[in-house]
Amino acid sequence: MRNIAAIFHKELKTYFTSPIAYVLAAVFLVITGYFFYGMTVTFSNECLYYMQYASRYGGMPALNLNQQVIRGMFGLISFISLFIIPMLTMRLYAEEKRSGTMELLMTSPVRITETLLGKFFACFSLYAVIIGLTVLYQIILGVYGHPDWGPVLSGYLGTLLMGAAFIAVGIFASSVTESQIIAVVLGFGALLLFWVIGSASIFTRPGAGKIFSYLSILTHMLPFQKGVIDTQHILFYLSFIGFFLFLTVKVIESQRWR
Amino acid sequence: MIEVEHLSKYFGRTTAVDNISFRVEKGEILGFLGPNGAGKTTTMRILTCFLPASAGTARVAGYDVFKDSLEVRKRIGYLPENPPLYNDMTVRYFLEFNAKIKGVEPKQQRSRAEATMEKCGLQEVKETIIGKLSRGYKQRVGLAQALVHDPEVLILDEPTIGLDPRQIIEVRQLIKELGGEHTIILSTHILPEVSVTCQRVVIINKGKIAAVDTPENLTARLKGSERVYVEVEGPVDQVEQRIRQIPDVTAVSVESGGNGKRNGFFVESKVKADVRSQLAAAITSSGFGLLEMRRVGLSLEEIFLQLTTEEAEG
């Protein structure tokens, strides 16, 4: 436990002493902020339009802040995560191997799993902080509107779970190479594949299609955005994380044998 | 303290370490001397649990490096050839981090880091980012990293590489002070380095141990040994027998031929005894033809020739 904490602290410190955390957070905020503004303005225009429509012809369509703004925001956040997470994870093992500090970690009385968990939670915490910045948008919505807070909370839960799954894939990509560039390309490629793999169900046989759509990271995210917390999806993300962390441990172990 | 038995390591088809065995007693400073690519680093990496051995066993403080690797790692401090440093950390944070992961009690982490910086002369650069330090300081931070948890065993791979002459003397002095309390293995390809710091030397070449001795004896052996090559016309067995009868000859080995009439022999003799005239007399008086005779170096000397025998300038 103490070792995990030591690695955790070291990794977080590295994130914040290098500009990478600040740059990624800034880019993330600019993009989400741009879309947030667009979506809220569109929504309020629609409200205005339908209010005039209702006063003239009667009958108001059901406009829903959660559906039209918040759900869109979560979709956007998960999409941007696809890009920023490989950039957060690329360093974690590739850099240790390139600079030779892997030799330090491997000859210290620290288990491979302890190093891995320290790195994983450090990256996850940074991700959570970046995601946490978007709470600002929810506050703005809460001040000027009446969103249903349930789906907001479940949306954050889903985003964090999905982010953790992305991080597991990213760390695995970083563990197989010494090059950060290769790590980011592999990580992004794998994530993109898991993102779109559901659409393979269109052209495969029904049986196989089910498997593909089950593997899709996106399919398991949608219920959370709608406000549904289903243990099946939580379990999917947890086993997904577990699987990739396990693979990483095996990769690191096998590198000693060469 | 350290027991290595029949250790081998293969990388694919190449053999990096070939069936080596040696022991290091508690408090001893052992030098690992050999040219580049001799297998020094590989042996050290096996001892520090970074690489598993292909065959054989190694024990540190009674623990097997493979089975009880965690126990071994608690007890060793290791300075690899390229010091493993995080370039974006300050010296102080780096050493505190090392104290943490090497199992120093939380209350002592600060004081251990402080004491190690003092010992390694890092006081002035405590708060400097490691990436901005000079090569010599980086090497010292690397050494401090190996010392911070006060390990029983220190394994230092080329500890004086990249240092200026004054720093080299300081580091050697430091290593000598550490001996006694700590068991130390250090590798080098610089001959005078071992004679200054080590009590015992293992000479390793092409993965094999060529000699184990004290630095004084090795130097004596190097300077005083005699080896002569002779080519003789005559039957192998008889010639060999005749040469063996010469008093000062210690060993004879057949080098070439064996079935023909011309045969080559390597004749080794006692230190400082020149047997050449006796040899020539013995061969010719027995009726064999002496075709060639020349002095050759000992195989140990061949290894030494590849070593750096003089201190580098600057």
Q: In what order do the strands lie in the sheet with B183-188?
A: B76-79, B153-157, B183-188, B29-33, B200-205, B208-213
Which residue in the set A2, A6, A107 is minimally distant from B73, CB to CB?
Answer: A107
CA angle A76, A77, A81 (to 5 degrees): 115
Q: Which position has the higher pLDDT, B32 or B248?
A: B32
What tokens does A1 get?
């436990």
Q: What is the pLDDT of residue B304?
A: 66
Percent of chain A with pLDDT over 70: 99
Mean pLDDT by 10 residues, chain A (258 residues): 92 90 93 93 89 82 81 91 93 92 92 95 96 92 87 93 95 94 95 86 77 83 87 93 96 82
The token pair that represents A180 in the structure block: 């950060």
**Inter-residue contact A119 to A158 (CB < 8 Å):** no
Is the pLDDT at B314 greater than 60? The verdict is no
Mean pLDDT of B109-136: 90
Do residue A109 and residue B88 have CB atoms under 8 angstroms apart? no
A18–B88 CB contact, under 8 Å: yes
* Cα–Cα distance measured from residue A145 to residue A133, given in angstroms and rounded to the nearest whole number: 19
Most B CBs within 10 A among A108, A117, A253, hence the mutation to make, goes to A108
- Contact between A14 and B50 using a beta-carbon 8 Å cutoff: no
Beta bridge partners of B77: B154
Q: What is the pLDDT of residue A85?
A: 95
Where helices occur in B165-253 by DSSP H, the ranges are 165-178, 191-197, 215-224, 236-244
C-alpha span between B120 and B132 (Å, rounded):
18
Number of residues assigned to chain B = 314
CA nearest neighbour of A225 among A40, A34, A72: A72
User: Average pLDDT, stretch B121-138?
Assistant: 90
Rounded to the nearest angstrom, the minimum Cα separation between B89 and chain A is 8
Which residues contact residue B224 at a Cβ distance below 8 angstroms, ignoring those fewer than 6 apart?
A: B271, B272
Residue B226 CB-density burial (10 A; 0-12 exposed, 13-18 middle, 19+ buried): buried
Q: What percent of chain B has pLDDT over 70?
A: 89
pLDDT of amino acid B258 = 57
Note the pLDDT of residue B280: 87
CA distance A160 to A28: 15
Whether pLDDT at B217 is above 90: no
Taken in order of first residue, the domains within chain B and their CATH numbers are 2-221 (3.40.50.300), 226-296 (3.30.70.60)
pLDDT at B224: 57
Q: Exposure pattern of A82-119 as b/e (b: 16+ CB <10 Å)?
A: bbbbbbbbbbbbbbbbebebbbbbbbbbbebbbbbbbb
Phi/psi of residue B87, nearest 5 degrees: -70, -15
For residue B73, give the nearest of A99, A101, A109 by CB distance: A109
For the beta sheet containing B63-64, the strands, ordered from the edge strand earlier in sequence to the opposite edge, are: B14-24, B2-11, B55-60, B63-64
Say if A253 is an interface residue toward chain B (CB within 8 Å): no
* Residues A135-187 pLDDT 10s: 999 999 889 888 889 889 999 999 999 999 999 999 999 999 999 999 999 99
B182-198 pLDDT per residue, tens: 899 999 887 778 878 88
Measured between alpha carbons, how far is residue A48 from residues A41, A45, A106, A156 in Å?
A: 11, 5, 63, 29
Contact A256 B50 (CB under 8 A): yes
pLDDT for residue B128: 92
Cα nearest neighbour of B72 on chain A: A109
Picking from A211, A212, A209, A168, the residue whose alpha carbon sits closest to that of residue A190 is A168
CB contact under 8 A, A109 and B103: yes
What average pLDDT does this structure show over B278-307? 76
The tens digit of pLDDT for each residue in B17-74 reads 988 999 998 889 998 888 778 888 999 999 999 988 888 999 998 899 888 889 999 9
> A256, B70: Cβ pair inside 8 Å?
no
Q: Which of B80, B89, B100 sits opposite A100 (nearest CB)?
A: B80
Q: A–B: how many Cβ contacts below 8 A?
A: 68
Distance CA A211, CA A190 (A): 17
Residues B161, A96, B96, CA angle at the centre, nearest 5°? Answer: 75
Residue B254: predicted pLDDT: 81
* Distance to chain B for A187, nearest Cα, Å: 24
Tokens 């809220």 -> residue: A40
